[in-house]
Structure 1
Amino acid sequence: MDTKVITAHVPVPLAEKVDLLANRLERSKAWIMKQALAAWIDQEEERHKLTLEALADVDNNNVIEHQSMLDWAQSLDTDKSKSVTS
Structure 2
Amino acid sequence: MAIETRTLTAQVPVELAKEVDALSELLERPRQWIIKKALVQFLAREAETRRLIQEGLEDVTAGRLLSMEQARAWANSLGTDNELPVQKA
TM-score per shorter chain, which class? Answer: 0.7 to 0.9
Specify the alignment match of 1:14 in structure 2.
Answer: 16
Matches within 5 A, 1:6-85: 6-76=8-78, 79-83=81-85, 85=87
In the alignment, the residues of structure 2 paired with residue 64 and residue 19 of structure 1 have an alpha-carbon distance, to the nearest angstrom, of 49
In the alignment, the residues of structure 2 paired with residue 38 and residue 73 of structure 1 have an alpha-carbon distance, to the nearest angstrom, of 34
Instruction: Summarize the Cα distance change of 1:31–1:75 in structure 2 as closer, same or farther, 3 Å threshold.
Output: closer
Q: Percent of aligned pairs with the same residue?
A: 38
1:75 to partner: Cα distance: 3.9
1:76 to partner: Cα distance: 4.2
1:68 to partner: Cα distance: 1.4
Contact 1:72–1:81 (CA<8 Å) still a contact in 2? yes
* TM-score normalised by the chain length of structure 2: 0.81
